């Protein structure tokens, strides 16, 4: 199988992701989940995803669809790159095993369906926050912990963000 085919196989439907994750977990592997828009991939994203992958055996990304990015209020011109392009760029990263698109405003439904062992977010969130109304609350953390899973935060790379890149361009 060539590299192009391998990249495309990382971008899967929710149903296929559930099947793969179930098999991995049955084999005793730890599945890590994180989510985001990953609009303009930069050093901060690459570092974050490599560290997230180090929290388990497989890294699954819940990728916001274009519609869900637009609803987040990041700006009328966002996302810059469409969901298919963003998924393909993420698939090219060695640290990423699967990408599953989700259209909801939060990743709660996909987390509940995929049932990862580990949930990871950036350190701008708090793994111990229990109040869903708090901006530091990690959506899905209560559910992952209730199933015996773990929730971690990862320090972000100072000075790297899509917003900063866009501000330099405009």
C-alpha 66/C-alpha 58 separation (Å) is: 25
Between β-strands 118-122 and 98-102, what pairing exists: parallel, antiparallel or unpaired?
unpaired
Torsion, Cα 123 52 165 134, to 10 degrees, reads -30
In this prediction, residue 141 has a pLDDT band, given cuts at 50, 70 and 90, of very high
Averaged pLDDT for residues 66-79: 88
Torsion, Cα 122 163 110 144, to 10 degrees, reads 10
Tokens of 62: 């819940």
Residue 164 has pLDDT above 80, yes or no: no
Residue 159 has pLDDT above 80, yes or no: no
Q: What are 80-126's pLDDT values in tens digits?
A: 999 999 999 999 999 999 999 999 999 999 999 999 999 999 999 99
Return the SS3 of 74. coil
In this prediction, residue 73 has a pLDDT band, given cuts at 50, 70 and 90, of confident
- Ordered domains of the chain (ranges, CATH): 3-169 (3.40.50.620)
Amino acid 77: pLDDT: 85
% pLDDT > 90, the chain: 83
């Amino acid at each position: 199988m060539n590299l192009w085919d391998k990249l495309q196989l990382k971008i899967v439907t929710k149903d296929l992701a559930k099947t793969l994750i179930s098999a991995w977990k049955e084999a005793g592997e730890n599945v890590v989940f994180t989510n985001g828009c990953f609009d303009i991939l930069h050093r901060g994203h690459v570092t974050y995803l490599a560290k997230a992958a180090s929290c388990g055996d497989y890294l699954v990304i819940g990728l916001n669809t274009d519609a869900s990015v637009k609803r987040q209020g990041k700006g009328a011109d966002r996302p810059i790159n469409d969901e298919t392009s963003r998924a393909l760029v993420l698939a090219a990263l060695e640290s990423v095993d699967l990408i599953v698109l989700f259209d909801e405003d939060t990743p709660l439904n996909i987390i509940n369906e995929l049932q990862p062992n580990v949930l990871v977010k950036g350190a701008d969130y708090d793994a111990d926050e229990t109040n869903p109304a708090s901006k530091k609350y990690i959506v899905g953390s209560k559910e992952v912990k209730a199933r015996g899973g773990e929730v971690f935060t990862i320090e972000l790379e100072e000075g790297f963000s899509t917003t900063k890149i866009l501000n330099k361009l405009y």
